[in-house]
Structure 1
Amino acid sequence: MIRSLFIACLATISLAFGAQGQTPTVGVLNQTEASFDGYTLLPVTASAKTFLINNCGEVINEWNSGYKAGMMAYLLPDGSLLRAGRTNNANFGAGGTGGIVEKFDWEGNLTWSYPISSDTICQHHDIAVLPNGNVLALAWRSYPAATWIAHGRDPERTADVVWGTYILEVEPVGADSGIVVWEWEAINHLSQSFDPSLPNYGAPGAHPRQLDVNYEAEAGDRDWLHTNSIAYNAELDQIMVSSRDFNELWIIDHGVPNELTGTEAGHLLYRWGNPEAYGRGTAADRILHSQHDARWIQDGQVMVFSNGNERPDGFFSTVEVMTPPLNEDGSYNLSPTAPWGPEGTDWRYPSILDADFFSQNTSGAQQLPNGNILITEGASGEIREVTLDQQVVWNYVNPIGTFGATAQYDNPVINGVFRAERYAAAHPALAGRELVAQGLLEITLNPPACVLYPEPTCAADLNGNYFVEVNDLLGMLTGFGCTGGCQGDLDGDGSIAISDLLVLLGAIGSPCAF
């Protein structure tokens, strides 16, 4: 008791003296009217809690789990939280390990949990939600060395077991069950130039839609591919995955029937970032370096956080935006001998490499409805919002670390955030809710004054991303015929009917006005 009082007194003294002219170390460090007003979800690496904060850093909601982050979390349209948790599976000890997917309602009640953890399988890093409510999970599947050697892997560069990327789509059932309705495995899409007597033999450049089983192969490395993010594009029905160790992103056709995903039909549709990985370039052609969070953004572009490990210029992180060579049929242009384009990117942050902007792991970037980019430097727990002309308009440092909340003016310890996501006030998860501020996460005696700058709304934006698009149309069709207080009743006549559909179709493809 005496020790606790002593520590509390020291914290109070530290705060009192720190307030006199010191620079804040945690919480909101910078906020301007140019920032996009919304609510930021923090899947804190060192905690079993997930926090939702406003732009002043005030807690709006929090969810408590029995598991620390494993690693990502998302808000669902009904206000539920879907998160991955870390079960500490002893068979899978690499970074990003998870093992269970949980769903909590807005009030924090656990409504669904689904373990993806066994001696040979373990969920890790990221998950994605499909429009039908099914969950895509990124997982490892372990196979013994003999299996990989039979696929053409060099025995001298093969660990006792090697983990391949395994993607599964789960249809939730009840409170603690699910049905796997679709699967994709990297081990079914390999090429090799090691043993001509084994399948899929040939130069990697002749098999660009397959994974060279000996690329980056090391005898002591079980986590060969280290995929770390998964995203879904409903319009294309395609999946995007980031492979850190291959330094590239992959696009996979989710429209391939489950029984054919292990065939040629399930080979990669597209890959980008490192043509050396498939024999159509050298290390000098590499654009991505140990990247995380590959995702589609507006106008068909792709954004990715390139961490910068092994970058020839030094340890610098960047956010890269590029436009893939997409055809109308959902395929991607590829010449017989050259790598997939583009050769460069459309936008980069920072435009000049900066040693102060570097995160060796985790991290990500999200384009906000007003065009700004929300960037998470995962390792340091720092989140910044920047404009397209590179101006920082919001800056936040996560105060929750290994020892809990950090006192203002102290330095946080292990305060990583896997990847933050911001949701607009008009997002279905938040619309109509009383979003009451519950105080700051950091310990402080004198909370700073803070002003919120609400964004405009538009009725046809049903999913709250400030852009009228196909997903809004799908949402309206789902509720078609609804009467009485329906989201999607755009003409206010009390029901969702053809007249509402015509209003939405007239606005489709348009952003909300800013």
Structure 2
Amino acid sequence: MVLKVRAAAAIALFFIISVYPQAYNGYTLFGPHNSRYTYLVDMNNTVVKTWTHTKNGGYTYYLLEDGSVMRTAVASGGLNGGGAQGVVQRVDWNGNLLWEYTYSSSTYKAHHDIEPMPNGNVLIIAWEVKTAAQAVAAGLNHSSSIWPDHIIEVQPVGTNGGNIVWKWHFWDHLIQDYDPSKANYGVVANHPELLDINVGSTSGDWMHVNGISYNPELDQIVFSSHNLHELFVIDHSTTTAEAAGHTGGRWGKGGDILYRWGKASNYRATSAQVFKVVHCAVWVPKGLPGEGHIMAFNNREGQGTSMIVEIVPPVDSLGNYVFTPGTGYGPAAPYWSYTASWFYSNHLGGVQRLPNGNTIISESTSGNLFEVNQAGNTVWNYNRGGEIVRVLRYGMDYPGIRKINSGEIVINEFMASNDSIPDPAGEFDDWIELYNNTDDDITLSGRYLSNASGQPTKFRIPQRTVIKARDYLVVWADNDLTQGGIHANFDLSDAGGTLFLRNLNGSIIDTITFGTQTMGKSMSRIPNGTGQFTETNPTIGRENKLSNTVVLLNQGDIVINEFMTANDSIPDPAGEFEGWVELHNKSRGEVNIAGAFLTNDVSEGGKWQFPEGTVIPANGYLVVWLDDDTLQAGLHANFSFPVGQGMIGFMNRDSSVLDTVSFSDESTNLSYARIPNGTGSFVLAIPSIGKANTTVYSTVDPMGNRNVGYNLAQNYPNPFNPETKINFSIGVPGRVSLKVYDLLGNKVATLTDDFMNEGSYSVTFDGRGHPSGVYFYVLTSGEAKIAKKLTLLK
């Protein structure tokens, strides 16, 4: 999904330590409703970039990866209703108009939201006029002109053109039970995939669709409707012709509604109404906590408090949305929600999930922008006032903000409490490191460093001082100009202060305000040369890396989840069968573990350090091959499993122990896995590398009596050729399956999959047609799952 934000470079760069340590670090994009301005603010709510546009508008806006801004604007004339726009504009970082597309007339008009797509096209919501005669012919129960919504996908052409490459019309997917003489007459309750023409507003802007979001993994669109009090999901994989019908596309239903939620009475179902006016339906993008979920702003008009909801639409094994006739689409309740006694916007509203699991919200009618964590605590706030429809946060690594935080020369690192790095005279003085972000050598003559705003030219960098391309320059801040090298005429206070880098004319190139400093630690930009400052171990004259930070991983977020010591079934990327260990991120946010360690002896400290950029997604997995071969591509540790017994340790950046596991024997082609996944004790299991652990290789119950009453006997004979018998017993009546898998986890046979009463059973596995080798057979019934190995020997 494309994040909806745009930004531009600022002349003066302000890099200030955030006063919101739990907030997601980045820049916030917003624009006052029906204005000509878009703003970008830093984490201290300082405006660092302003765009001035040629037209009023700004219901919605996005910062694209090239630093341009895409926004909606108001067209003169044509249809006029709430949220009317009619124009889409794209401007570059400096505000120059790159593209302007108008979709507006007396019979159609773009309104509310747009969605930039990964292919460079844009999705646009629009009205289309239907006369009173057309509406009555479609089964409307009164005579009135109505404006049903449609969606177009536009491919930009030139500076003001566009090709409509796909479109979908709500008008093609209607039903009604009012007039049996009409072709679309039917039982509304039996057709939730269609919209009853007699729900919603009575005339004009009938549906008032106001938010749209695209899911590229599913190739589906979600949108929200103010007047219908629902969100809807449709298939985008269709052709335009299929979108007008009821078959075709990836999901086989043409342009019919795949899923809807919020007001089940619209299709005569009994589920309770959730939305009372809804805005800003958005997918949670892939890779973020809650990926694939849907979020929306529930205004709860007239109730005094609004609510943010996050839902998980129920799907079957094929990904089709589950519908229960009479009851309606699930879920029965949101997966997560947020409200507060003071939080209320009776219309409009914006919401965005952030990579750290927080959520940023626009309380639109009051112009209050704020960020909450999963517990509902406010961790950032900017109460600007006015009316602000949407808000979007872009992280420090987002390409679109590089023009803000990638100045040519920046203050890159400094140390105000130094007891470890001597200057050329052997003194442990304060120091400042500058970095050249460009591919050209730059002469620093005429630049100034200062630690006082009232003395902008306190220390002039000497003439002919050159900082080479992508290189560093260190200035010793010791108030001693008599020493050789570059020494400033001021020092830094470990109690806090401000640093300035200025041009000859006194304009600020870069600045940093800092608090109390820790002895032996520096403050560094991460990512190097561009990011915000964080406390690290010093890297004077070298690249700043996340692995040098002293920010520690949280105990329990990352665990050793599975490992395999004797492997001849699961190859690494080079095709070798090596031992491996799997880590699991149990948290709801991605975790960068660069700088943490693995070891096979915690008493000797960390032996192998995770490299820069090593990230485990929320609820995700990471595999490291323990083969003592660091020359291979990927993650390969510099040690291997010992024979017979040993241990594995996962250690924090400061070498404190986060998790350990010891083992005393080896079982070929079986792993040791935590069951339940991520939390349980280690037991022998069928390997599930990179996935949740589910299947125990044992009749011993490691999961709190989960398998009690069930027994799976060893097959006989074993080894066998061509047939073998498998006996098992069931303690509780229910559906039972017994399946055979190869060592790679591929199912090769289903021996039974049916309802069984309590009792003992016997089945035969016929090995004819299967190659010699080791196989697993797995008994599953309810929560019970037991596995054993069998050997086919021809």
Please confirm whether the aligned pair reaches a TM-score higher than 0.5, indicating the same fold. yes
Matched, 1:301 2:293: yes
> Would the aligned equivalents of 1:380 and 1:416 in 2 still touch at CA under 8 Å?
yes
Matched, 1:428 2:417: no
Aligned residue in 2 for 1:144: 131
Aligned residue in 2 for 1:71: 59
Which has the larger strand fraction?
A: 2
Q: Label 1:435 to 1:317 Cα distance change in 2 as closer, same or farther (>3 A).
A: farther
For residue 175 of structure 1, what is the amino acid of its counterpart? T
Q: Label 1:345 to 1:40 Cα distance change in 2 as closer, same or farther (>3 A).
A: same
Q: Secondary structure, in 3 states, of the residue corresponding to 1:300? A: coil
> Would the aligned equivalents of 1:67 and 1:86 in 2 still touch at CA under 8 Å?
yes
1:418 to 389, 400, 403: 389
1:323-334 pair list within 5 angstroms: 323-334=312-323
Matched, 1:45 2:33: yes
> Would the aligned equivalents of 2:154 and 2:162 in 1 still touch at CA under 8 Å?
yes
Matched, 1:229 2:211: yes
Displacement of 1:199 in angstroms is 1.4
Displacement of 1:336 in angstroms is 3.3
Aligned residue in 2 for 1:270: 259
Displacement of 1:335 in angstroms is 2.4
Aligned residue in 1 for 2:21: 33
> Would the aligned equivalents of 1:128 and 1:135 in 2 still touch at CA under 8 Å?
yes
Structure 1 CA distance for aligned equivalents of residues 228 and 67 of structure 2: 36
Structure 2 CA distance for aligned equivalents of residues 31 and 276 of structure 1: 46
For residue 92 of structure 2, what is the amino acid of its counterpart? D
> Would the aligned equivalents of 2:26 and 2:43 in 1 still touch at CA under 8 Å?
yes
Query: What do residues 393-452 of structure 1 show as CA deviations (whole Å, max 9, x unaligned)?
Result: 111122xxxxxxxxxxxxx5xx11111111011012123654689xxxxxxxxxxx8989
Query: What do residues 321-349 of structure 1 show as CA deviations (whole Å, max 9, x unaligned)?
Result: 11111345442011233200011112111
Over 6 Å off, 4+ runs: 449-453, 455-458
Q: Label 1:59 to 1:222 Cα distance change in 2 as closer, same or farther (>3 A).
A: same
For residue 123 of structure 2, what is the amino acid of its counterpart? L
Displacement of 1:32 in angstroms is 1.9
1:67-106 pair list within 5 angstroms: 67-92=55-80, 94-106=81-93
1:195 to 160, 167, 179: 179
Structure 1 CA distance for aligned equivalents of residues 275 and 127 of structure 2: 22
Structure 1 CA distance for aligned equivalents of residues 23 and 155 of structure 2: 37
2:149 to 155, 165, 171: 165
1:103-502 pair list within 5 angstroms: 103-155=90-142, 158-159=143-144, 161-218=145-202, 221-264=203-246, 265-281=254-270, 285-297=272-284, 298-310=290-302, 314-350=303-339, 354=341, 356-398=342-384, 415-431=386-402, 433-434=404-405
Q: Label 1:292 to 1:31 Cα distance change in 2 as closer, same or farther (>3 A).
A: farther
Query: What do residues 1-57 of structure 1 show as CA deviations (whole Å, max 9, x unaligned)?
Result: xxxxxxxxxxxxxxxxxxxxxxxxxxxxx9521111111111211421111111112
Q: Secondary structure, in 3 states, of the residue corresponding to 1:276? A: helix
> Would the aligned equivalents of 2:34 and 2:59 in 1 still touch at CA under 8 Å?
no
Q: Label 1:233 to 1:339 Cα distance change in 2 as closer, same or farther (>3 A).
A: same
Q: Label 1:31 to 1:120 Cα distance change in 2 as closer, same or farther (>3 A).
A: farther
Q: Secondary structure, in 3 states, of the residue corresponding to 1:187? A: helix
Q: Label 1:268 to 1:31 Cα distance change in 2 as closer, same or farther (>3 A).
A: farther
Displacement of 1:90 in angstroms is 4.6
Q: Label 1:467 to 1:97 Cα distance change in 2 as closer, same or farther (>3 A).
A: farther
Q: Label 1:344 to 1:379 Cα distance change in 2 as closer, same or farther (>3 A).
A: same
> Would the aligned equivalents of 2:20 and 2:43 in 1 still touch at CA under 8 Å?
no
1:59 to 31, 47, 59: 47
Structure 1 CA distance for aligned equivalents of residues 51 and 514 of structure 2: 25
> Would the aligned equivalents of 1:307 and 1:318 in 2 still touch at CA under 8 Å?
yes
Aligned residue in 2 for 1:17: none
Q: Secondary structure, in 3 states, of the residue corresponding to 1:163? A: coil
Q: Label 1:363 to 1:294 Cα distance change in 2 as closer, same or farther (>3 A).
A: same
Query: What do residues 210-258 of structure 1 show as CA deviations (whole Å, max 9, x unaligned)?
Result: 110001342xx31110110000001000000001111110001000111
Q: Secondary structure, in 3 states, of the residue corresponding to 2:244? A: coil
Query: Structure 1: which 5+ runs fail to align?
Result: 1-29, 399-411, 438-448, 459-465, 469-488, 492-501, 510-514
Q: Secondary structure, in 3 states, of the residue corresponding to 1:393? A: strand
Query: What do residues 138-193 of structure 1 show as CA deviations (whole Å, max 9, x unaligned)?
Result: 111111111111110012xx43x211111000000111100000000111110001
Structure 1 CA distance for aligned equivalents of residues 171 and 197 of structure 2: 9
Q: Secondary structure, in 3 states, of the residue corresponding to 2:129? A: strand
> Would the aligned equivalents of 1:236 and 1:330 in 2 still touch at CA under 8 Å?
no
For residue 335 of structure 1, what is the amino acid of its counterpart? T
Q: Label 1:490 to 1:304 Cα distance change in 2 as closer, same or farther (>3 A).
A: closer
For residue 419 of structure 1, what is the amino acid of its counterpart? R
TM-score, normalised via structure 2 length? 0.48
Q: Secondary structure, in 3 states, of the residue corresponding to 2:291? A: helix
For residue 358 of structure 2, what is the amino acid of its counterpart? N
Displacement of 1:454 in angstroms is 5.5
Structure 1 CA distance for aligned equivalents of residues 172 and 166 of structure 2: 14
Structure 1 CA distance for aligned equivalents of residues 375 and 19 of structure 2: 17
Which has the larger helix fraction?
A: 1
For residue 373 of structure 1, what is the amino acid of its counterpart? T
For residue 207 of structure 1, what is the amino acid of its counterpart? H
Displacement of 1:371 in angstroms is 0.7
Structure 1 CA distance for aligned equivalents of residues 38 and 380 of structure 2: 21
Q: Secondary structure, in 3 states, of the residue corresponding to 1:299? A: coil
Query: What do residues 67-86 of structure 1 show as CA deviations (whole Å, max 9, x unaligned)?
Result: 22241000111111000001
Structure 1 CA distance for aligned equivalents of residues 281 and 65 of structure 2: 22
Q: Secondary structure, in 3 states, of the residue corresponding to 1:68? A: strand
Displacement of 1:61 in angstroms is 1.8
Structure 2 CA distance for aligned equivalents of residues 36 and 299 of structure 1: 17
Aligned residue in 1 for 2:476: none
Query: Could you tell me the percent identity over the aligned residues?
Result: 35
Q: Secondary structure, in 3 states, of the residue corresponding to 1:228? A: strand
Displacement of 1:97 in angstroms is 1.1
> Would the aligned equivalents of 1:320 and 1:349 in 2 still touch at CA under 8 Å?
yes
For residue 402 of structure 2, what is the amino acid of its counterpart? A
Q: Label 1:332 to 1:304 Cα distance change in 2 as closer, same or farther (>3 A).
A: same
Q: Label 1:453 to 1:261 Cα distance change in 2 as closer, same or farther (>3 A).
A: same
Structure 2 CA distance for aligned equivalents of residues 199 and 454 of structure 1: 66
Size of the aligned set, in residue pairs, is 402
Structure 2 CA distance for aligned equivalents of residues 84 and 195 of structure 1: 39
Q: Secondary structure, in 3 states, of the residue corresponding to 2:402? A: coil
Structure 1 CA distance for aligned equivalents of residues 291 and 317 of structure 2: 14
Moved more, 327-336 or 230-239: 327-336
Query: Structure 2: which 5+ runs fail to align?
Result: 1-17, 247-253, 285-289, 411-512, 516-530, 535-544, 548-588, 592-611, 615-632, 636-689, 692-794
